[in-house]
Amino acid sequence: MKKIKYFVCLVILTSVFNFNTSMKAEAASTIFMKPAEGGYSSFYGPRWGRLHAGVDIAANGIVPIYASTAGTVTKVFDGCANVSNECSSTLGNYVIIRHNFNGKIIDTLYGHMRPGLNVAVGQSVSKGQQLGLMGTTGNSTGQHLHFEVHPGGRASNSAVDPMPFLNGTMDSQLPTLPIDWHKGTLNVGQVGWIKIDQPINLWKRVGDELEYDRVLKENELYRVYGYDNLYGGQYNVGDNHYITKMDTHIEYRNGYMEWRGIEFNRNQVGGLDILKPINLWKKDANGKLTYERILNPGEFYRVYGYSTDNGGQYDVGGGYWVTNMSGYITYSTPSKDFLDRAQKRIY
């Protein structure tokens, strides 16, 4: 295969692919995102004669806690009745999420949260999805989030320093999948996707040189893992393969759409603002409702559908429902154009 040190494209565009420095940009640019705003008040390592098995993030006020990366909720403890130190559990209210990176299992743990968590066991969560609010339940001396990372799962008792995961230095050690994709989930390290509008070359980098691989065809889809300014600007589509940034030939989109300041999930249709305390109900396969807990004013929940059963109820995910009661909740939805784009995105 012929190697070239440079090449000339029909059009060479030198636009720089920018990432913001906010948490939302962090969520797009690294596999794991910082799970809450605030400063690090304590790090992994020996503390008070024992191992402090995670990092603490502290902040005042109403502080949302987010899933550090996509996964499935495996444990929820929501037994603390208030935000004081009245829980017997060391961690207070906490959530554990399991992440599967092409067979490599990692658990993340979120501790000391306020009561009224937003997720349930078995629920799939996306990266940046709100789990609840920062609190000081359990063995805690002030409001903060205690965050742990457990390769192999928490049952293996193998907590490691979370900081390499949060700053992206562990990304290269997690397995990736093939570069071609069709309506799958976002891969480890993926930041977006490319649709081919007109035939364009696929290149493979070998050291500082490029090798022509093949011509990509119209309407093909490729995962994107990064961007750099080499050779006029190229998107990394995995396995050292690159596509040149030519806006007349390709269309790049992020895999992340935001509404109300958080990620808009696939199949989501809108959201509920809680105005007054109202019951959250769990519905089984037979349609039987079981009282779960009280939702508090100021909380926000994603909505995935609506049923006229039981006087009218909103589906808030995970088998949970909120009754349509005027004055207690407000339902809102993005524009039709936004919903159309959200349903058409390729993940």
List pLDDT tens digits, range 89-121: 688 999 999 988 766 889 999 999 999 999 998
Comparing CA positions, the residue from 320, 286, 242 lying closest to residue 299 is 320
Token pair of 253 as six digits: 């989109």
Comparing CA positions, the residue from 90, 126, 130, 107 lying closest to residue 261 is 130
> In this predicted structure, what is the pLDDT of residue 197?
92
> What's the rounded Cα separation, in Å, for the pair 195 and 251?
5
With 0.75 as the threshold, say if the pTM is over it. no
For residue 341, the SS3 value is helix
The sheet carrying 234-236 orders its strands as 3-4, 209-216, 200-206, 241-244, 234-236, 226-228
For residue 299, the SS3 value is coil
pLDDT digit string (tens) for 194-242?
Answer: 889 999 999 999 887 899 999 999 988 888 878 888 899 999 888 789 9
> In this predicted structure, what is the pLDDT of residue 29?
53
> What's the rounded Cα separation, in Å, for the pair 300 and 119?
12
Confidence of residue 79 (pLDDT cuts 50, 70, 90): confident
